[in-house]
Amino acid sequence: MKKIVSLLLAGMFVTGGVAARDVTSFNAGWEFKKGPFPEEAVRTVASWNGKWNKVEIPHTWNARDMQTRYNDFYEGAGYYRKEYFCPENLKDKRIFLRFEGVGACAEVYINNQLVGTHKGGYSAFAIEIGTALKPGKNNEIVVKADNKSRPDVIPVNHALFGVYGGIYRPVWLIVTEKSNITVTDNASPGVYITQENVSRRSVDITVKVKVDNASLQPVPVILENTIYTQERKRIATDKQSFDLSTQGTQAYSSTFHLNRPHLWQGRQDPYLYKVVSRLIQNGNVIDEVVQPLGIRKYEMVAGKGFFLNGEKYPMYGVCRHQDWWELGSALKNEHHDFDLAQIMDVGATTVRFAHYQQSEYLYSRCDSLGLVIWAEIPFVNRVTGQEAENAKNQLRELIRQNFNHPSIYVWGLHNEVYSPHEYTAQLTAELHDLAKAEDPNRYTVSVNGYGHMEHPVNLNADIQGMNRYFGWYEKKIKDIDTWIEGLEKEYPHQKLILSEYGADANINHQTELLGESLKWWEQYYPETFQTKVHEYHWSVIAKHPYIVASYLWNSFDFATPMADRGGITARNMKGLMTFDRKTKKDSYYWYKANWSKDPVVYLTQRRNKDRECKETSVTVYSNIGTPTVYLNGKELQGIRKGYTEVHYVFDHVILADGKNTLKAVAMQNGKEYVDEIVWNYTGEKNRGTETYENQKVHSGF
């Protein structure tokens, strides 16, 4: 098995040649069998006859059916088994299994003995298994995963997104000495770093470490907390000596005052210190945990915007669902890296990871990339009256597991959860109180889909988020103006985030005949309408600082197994990129031109090749100055600015019969940037939803 050194789990600065703790990948050698099976059979699952499939974690059984079928996918139990030989020399150690994510409820058995359970498909959980293992022998591990929706576990349905079943994130085998930095504090790293009085002059840092002793006698130990620079230079150390009690987990804190700290400055300079917590016994490091430290101060000011370290910071925001076409949620780090690369490329500065806790690797990468993050729990869509305890537990897990990520600025409490309003409002208030008790220094946010401040579930968090889809789910595209101006006037003191906006776009649906709204419940989702929505909505957002942050929906198309519309079954197509990550829609380049510092020259409607009108318009995005555009080799005249400084439009362009070549050219620093597309015109057309049946695509691209 491959040894892995993890920021969250293992030591990086081991002293004296002694390994602090062993953290080993536990992803190979699994077998899988899909249920359902009688509950009484779980303990004898390993002896079942029949075919077991060899799988490697991460794994999900819904990678196809949840992405291609409408309300026809397997939700229920699946079983995983693995044989593990426990070395004899581990009999005096503590042994844990840490699961980063199992969809959605899990039971773990060792040698037919239940050792732990977990409810919730998106947070990690850790189970101590050493007492159930037989040293020097093979041991059988069985995991039951069940993604059937249930009223006491959020999300309570699959309506907004599908909860993929399986062990879909990595599993780790952790071995420590009897005394350790706790592994089972809600699967947190056991180390909590807080920062106060942050300025360029100085900062006060507190490092709280939870430690545990599983022996029968108190143990004399030294707890050492050290801060290292990004260049690995030690700048501060605190040591405490004490006898570690055998009765319960103990918490000890170190405080530091740092002068002239190097601040974490978002994408501009995401500087990271490291905090190394070591437990030392008889001169040897017996445990060690490394955590990131990004020194920063977040502040949201109503009506003015978001401030990072006292300076206004642009919140160019996107949302991201974690699933991929034909992979589901069973992703590897390279998939997360790819998604983050697209998000960085488009110029985003902030990401809403919706609507659930996502990979801890992803949050760590955001720390080092400088993205400002919104993290949330899957309390979405509906309430049952039975989910309160689980919602609180998932929020506690989210906060404790991700407490030290400097990229996270806000904890999300709910998204579009309503009736019964009184219950939802009270539970949201309780979640807010829990978040503040766990982490007083970060904001909380809840999200409404109606858009009026006086809604009864509103104003129970620090920030009010609102999801608005003008022209798509409601009213007309330009009604966003009236909405935001009304809120500015009536509620100038409220912190407001436009937490979702956008429209679906099936790239196989194209037309230049567009109005100010579209019937979303029908089957015609032209990409050109999505582009129109984003062009206007971003222009309004950009000139209204009352919207302290905004998040377009969504970075990537994703699976919605309870929906069948827009020409592709089980698909939400509001992404800037297609589900398979192969095609960047026009709206992707709209934001890249407006947000990114990279040069952009881009002609829109490249997939709308079969033109309906001989007289049409040509749109170019250019963030390097006014472009020159040629039609069939002849320069077009009459260019005008559109909604923002990068938006250029030519009206009343007359196409030739047959093939038409458009070429846009702009110069920057002596370098020429060119984009070219081809349109065809073969006569006037009256294209609309009646052509849907000729363009329908059920899956794939």
Q: What is the mean pLDDT of each run of 10 residues along the chain (701 residues)?
A: 37 46 97 78 60 95 96 95 96 97 97 96 98 97 96 97 98 98 98 98 98 96 98 98 95 98 98 98 97 98 97 98 98 98 98 97 98 98 97 98 98 96 97 98 97 95 98 97 97 97 98 93 94 98 97 98 95 98 98 98 98 97 98 97 98 98 97 98 75 33 21
Under 8 Å CB-to-CB from 636, ≥6 apart: which residues? 618, 629, 630, 650, 653
Burial 343-370 (b: 16+ CB within 10 A, else e): bbebbbbbbbbbbbbbbbbbbbbbbbbb
Return d(Cα 62, Cα 324) in angstroms, integer: 11
Q: Please name the amino acid found at residue 677.
A: I
Instruction: Calculate the alpha carbon distances from 214 to 19, 220, 244, 277 in Å.
Output: 19, 13, 10, 19
pTM of this structure: 0.94
Q: Decide which of 3.20.20.100, 2.60.40.10, 3.30.465.10, 2.40.30.170 is the CATH code for 191-293.
A: 2.60.40.10
Nearest to 513 by CA among 698, 308, 688: 688
Tell me the torsion sign for CA atoms 552, 497, 155, 340.
positive
Q: Where in the chain is the domain with CATH 3.20.20.80?
A: 313-595
Tell me the torsion sign for CA atoms 142, 148, 152, 155.
positive
Q: Would you state the torsion angle of the CA atoms of residues 491, 379, 499, 560, taken in this order, to the nearest 10 degrees? A: -140
Q: Please name the amino acid found at residue 31.
A: E
For residue 327, the model assigns a pLDDT of 98
The token duo for 279 is 């437990």
For residue 46, the model assigns a pLDDT of 56
CATH number of 22-178: 2.60.120.260
Under 8 Å CB-to-CB from 17, ≥6 apart: which residues? none
Return d(Cα 48, Cα 282) in angstroms, integer: 49
CATH-assigned architecture of domain 610-695: Sandwich (2.60)
Tell me the torsion sign for CA atoms 679, 685, 691, 694.
negative
Return d(Cα 145, Cα 412) in angstroms, integer: 26
- Strand residue runs (E) in 324-440: 350-353, 372-376, 408-415
Q: Please name the amino acid found at residue 592.
A: K
Q: Per the omega criterion (within 30 degrees of 0), is the bond before 554 cis?
A: yes
CB atoms within 10 A of CB 220: 12
Under 8 Å CB-to-CB from 673, ≥6 apart: which residues? 599, 600, 601, 624, 665, 666, 667
Q: Which fold has domain 313-595?
A: TIM Barrel (3.20.20)
Return d(Cα 481, Cα 389) in angstroms, integer: 40
Cross-strand pairs, 262: none
Element spanning 346, H or E? none
Q: Per the omega criterion (within 30 degrees of 0), is the bond before 220 cis?
A: no
Q: Where in the chain is the domain with CATH 2.60.120.260?
A: 22-178
CB atoms within 10 A of CB 669: 6
Q: Annotated catalytic sites, by residue?
A: 416
Angle between helices 421-438 and 388-402 (to 10 degrees): 30
Return d(Cα 415, Cα 444) in angstroms, integer: 12
Q: Would you state the torsion angle of the CA atoms of residues 522, 527, 529, 531, taken in this order, to the nearest 10 degrees? A: 150
For residue 691, the model assigns a pLDDT of 41
Tokens 């956008």 sit at which residue?
502
The token duo for 263 is 């601040």
| Residue-wise pLDDT tens digits, 234-244 | 999 999 999 99
